A and B are shown apart, each in its own frame.
Chain A
Amino acid sequence: MIRRPVSDPWIWVLLLLTAGPLLGGLVFMLLYSIGLVGLLTDGFTLRYWSYVVTDGQTWRSLLYSLFIGSASMGASLALALALQAALRDQLRRGALGSLLFLPLAVPPLTAAVLSVEIIGNGGLLSRLARAAGWISAPADFPTVLFTPSGIGIVITHMTLVTPFLLLFLIRIAANERLGELARVAETLGASPWQSWRRVSLPILLRSSAPALTVYSLALAGAFEVPLLIGAQSPAMISVFIQRRFGQFDLRTRPEAYALATLYAGLAIGVLMALSAWRARRAPCERRL
């Protein structure tokens, strides 16, 4: 295959539309946060960074986002793997195979509205629990929305992510010929559980790990679901940044930019580390 030089104009378009705005925006936010640009700047200062870095809310929000992103991905992956192991061929055939695509048509905002209507204290499950005689008032139903535990956000993310992961795992299983490998393992004396745990599961996890890491990053930066059904405090990082940025006092804006720069730097750092790890681990596996 022909290898084009760096001067290919389409590559410049690619850089201009991806790295350009993001890195340009990052540099701007950094300059704004150290007082070198901005409407009310007094010149170079590190006081905004100092405030953001020493503010407990910053780290609480970052750790909370990391926790919610990891918990959402972990729970969705566990559920997807369990459903794949339990349902097997049923997932690829018939109505269920088609229904798995339905959640792809549901945006996060709608998923949050549905969570209020289904798992909220006054939602459908609470009404069914009342009909079954298990509770007598909405307050008796376990509260999962608007709580600091973030369990409502995790459940809502699970409803969006699990079907997508199931489709992804089905595809990996087909590409890696897991059915044939499992049959070989069982012919050699492994039980179905052993063949799934020792053969299928390691391959599925290894093949999906990089994708799931990027997806977890995206979930940690989720905005709509925590905005609608998350607690006021702690807030997930995207909501926290948007609130800081939306304040009327323009003097707080450099702090908002410092916070956004810190988060963007961390996210880009994780992405770069993942890329470097992939490059070191299996250069021969890379595509042409």
Chain B
Amino acid sequence: MMRRALGWVVSSVLLLPFPVLILLSLARRWPWPAVFPRDLQTQQWQVLLTDSSSLGAIILRSLGMGIGVAVTATALGFACSRSLARHRHRDRLTVFLYLPFAVSPVVLGVSLLYTFLRLHLAGHFLGVMLAQMIIAYAYAVLLLSAFWNQRIEALVELASSLGATPWQLWRRALVPMARPLLAVCLFQTFLISWFDYALALVIGSAQVSTVTTALYQYFSSGDLRLAATCSLLLILPPLLGLALNRRLLSATIATRLEDIDG
């Protein structure tokens, strides 16, 4: 009985953020101490979706950056993960993959900024994407390294001995077999870009607007209702991804952290 009650409490806490954000995004007036908003309106949504500051364009840019980072990081990560898995110094090389996570994104951005300024990449969305790629790529290699095991290598050798070219091997055998893990990798690396604020701030130098920078602006200007509305836009794609990918993500959680166990 107690266990069941605790389960309900935990479930409620996990669900609580969503009604709070939805109510806040629809609140016209929500003065203290009212537990619920006094009046509701859709003005926040109208402002966000029709504002001249064109959040629509910002969302599209953020989506484009996220998709670009995800596809590139996953493709490069898949190819590199095989070389890493077969390398004699695998453990030592793996330490390099943790560097972007151990060092704060702000420090990463600060360390790259001067070079990016010289390359005219600072203040440009391509520069932000490149910086995000460093983290997303490291994550992709770590995640996809779990794919390579004795069974896969035996299949590779069998396919090669039967005359498959390297291209055929990747296209007809390896990519189809890794498809579930690649889907998870695409989703997670997309989120690295989609959730990023620090690199967009430092490398973007206030000239690259993303959904996260818009959210911060609303928050710092004191408009929590617009910040909540923007937050809902920010969590919508990941929620959709989770709905589609829950089972796969369950396996990924383990891979993501167990890899550190090396």
Q: With A223-B197, A245-B110 as known contacts, state yes or no: A268 contacts B103, CB within 8 Å.
A: yes
A32: nearest residue on chain B (CB-CB)?
B114
Tell whether B134 is near chain A: CB-to-CB under 8 Å.
yes
Q: With A14-B93, A288-B150 as known contacts, state yes or no: A2 contacts B86, CB within 8 Å.
A: yes
A265: nearest residue on chain B (CB-CB)?
B103
Tell whether B80 is near chain A: CB-to-CB under 8 Å.
yes
Does A124 contact B219, Cβ atoms closer than 8 Å?
A: no
B87: nearest residue on chain A (CB-CB)?
A4
Q: With A11-B87, A19-B99 as known contacts, state yes or no: A110 contacts B107, CB within 8 Å.
A: no
Does B10 contact A96, Cβ atoms closer than 8 Å?
A: yes
Chain B's nearest CB lies how many Å from the CB of A253? 10
Interface size of B as a range: 35 or more
Contact with B along A8-21 (1 / 0, CB 8 A): 10110111011101
Tell whether A22 is near chain B: CB-to-CB under 8 Å.
yes
B95: chain A residues within 8 A (beta carbon): 271-272, 275
Q: With A18-B97, A107-B234, A271-B102 as known contacts, state yes or no: A124 contacts B198, CB within 8 Å.
A: no
Q: How many A-B residue pairs have CB under 8 A?
A: 283
Does A264 contact B11, Cβ atoms closer than 8 Å?
A: no
Interface-lining segment among B29-37, B45-53, B63-71, B172-180? B29-37
Tell whether B207 is near chain A: CB-to-CB under 8 Å.
no
B258: chain A residues within 8 A (beta carbon): 171-172, 175, 211
Chain B's nearest CB lies how many Å from the CB of A117? 6
What CA separation (Å) do A207 and B33 show in the bound complex? 47
Tell which of A108, A127, A207 touches B261, judged by Cβ atoms closer than 8 Å.
A207
Within 8 A of A (CB), among B65-99: 76, 79-80, 82-89, 91-93, 95-99
Residue from the set B21, B35, B114, B238 with the largest chain A CB neighbour count within 10 Å:
B114
Does A86 contact B107, Cβ atoms closer than 8 Å?
A: no
Does A116 contact B84, Cβ atoms closer than 8 Å?
A: no
B16: chain A residues within 8 A (beta carbon): 118
What CA separation (Å) do A228 and B257 show in the bound complex? 28
Does B257 contact A98, Cβ atoms closer than 8 Å?
A: no
Tell which of A14, A96, A113, A207 touches B84, judged by Cβ atoms closer than 8 Å.
A14
Does A260 contact B153, Cβ atoms closer than 8 Å?
A: no
| Chain A positions near chain B (C-beta within 8 angstroms) | 1-4, 6, 8, 10-11, 13-15, 17-19, 21-22, 24-26, 28-29, 32, 83, 86-88, 90, 95-96, 98-110, 112-114, 116-118, 122, 124, 126-128, 130-131, 138, 163-164, 167-168, 171-172, 175, 207-208, 210-211, 214-215, 217-218, 221-224, 227-228, 237-239, 241-242, 245, 256-257, 260, 263-264, 267-268, 270-272, 275, 278-279, 285-288
| Chain B positions near chain A (C-beta within 8 angstroms) | 3-4, 6-7, 10-11, 14-18, 20-21, 24, 32-35, 76, 79-80, 82-89, 91-93, 95-108, 110-112, 114-115, 133-134, 137-138, 141, 150, 153, 194-195, 197-198, 201-202, 212, 215-216, 219, 224, 227-228, 231, 234-235, 238-239, 241-242, 246, 249-250, 253-254, 257-258, 260-262
Task: Taking A4-B86, A25-B115, A28-B115 as given, write out 16 further A-B residue pairs in contact, using a Cβ cutoff of 8 Å, ordered by the A residue number.
Answer: A13-B80, A18-B99, A87-B7, A99-B11, A99-B14, A101-B250, A106-B235, A113-B215, A113-B224, A117-B228, A118-B16, A210-B260, A210-B262, A218-B104, A245-B110, A256-B110
**Smallest CB-CB A-B distances: 6 pairs:** A25-B111, A221-B104, A105-B238, A171-B254, A10-B83, A130-B33
